[in-house]
Amino acid sequence: MIVKRHRTNSNFQLAYFIAGKCYTADAAYIALLNQRDDRVMALNHARVQAMKQQARIQRIQQDMLTADAIAQLELRADLLEIELAQPMTDQLVTAAQDELAFIDLCIERVQPLRQYAHMSDADAAEACQREEFRLEFQHRIENYMITTGQIPANEFESMRRHPDFTTCLLPHIHTVQEQLISTGGAQKFLSHTTAGFDLPALLGFDHATTN
């Protein structure tokens, strides 16, 4: 079961299954930026809500000066509701800050490996697409051939539309087919990654003992 505490993604998920699932450093960088934007927006929202909460508290305190007994009880209940919710709010903010800090660390580690760092983020996201899709397709080719021995028709159709199908993907299919019939052929693919970088390793993670 996937478990996490007050976070959108754990460090493990970010390192292995989000940024780490990308095949180029630029794609990983863009994936991390998207995650970063989400956490920054959440923290900004928390700041706004904190100000509104303070205004609500001050309004309640003012109203209590002129409220009758029943209204004062309701107002005290409102204050208690705010007080009881604050510890959870604090935990959520801390979790978002921790997640943001880890995302920033990941960005710091992949930044030197980027090919399109000289471009704007939007242009870099476009520039890495061709290679990222090609490497993703190569990885799928390996997975399909190892597990079922064939590539699904709809996947093959998508692969054929890639501009590097004839020069890269088709030869890779042949290579995988040839190696799988050799002794230990599948292990050769399972023991390496198609990605051009290893984010967990860049972060100092031990693949065997990562927590």
Q: What is the mean pLDDT of each run of 10 residues along the chain (211 residues)?
A: 89 94 96 98 98 97 95 96 96 97 97 97 98 96 93 98 98 93 78 74 72 47
Whether the Cβ atoms of residue 180 and residue 146 lie closer than 8 Å to each other: yes
What pLDDT does residue 2 have?
81
The kind and range of the H/E element at 26 are helix 25-64
Provide the residue type at 72 as one letter. Q
Mapped onto helix, strand or coil, the DSSP state of residue 94 is helix
d(CA 87, CA 80): 12
d(CA 205, CA 201): 5
What pLDDT does residue 183 have?
77
What pLDDT does residue 3 have?
85
Specify the DSSP class assigned to residue 67.
-
The kind and range of the H/E element at 157 are helix 153-161
Whether the Cβ atoms of residue 107 and residue 199 lie closer than 8 Å to each other: no
d(CA 6, CA 83): 19
**Other C-beta atoms lying within 10 Å of the C-beta of residue 29:** 24
Sequence-distant (6+) residues with CB within 8 A of 91 are 6
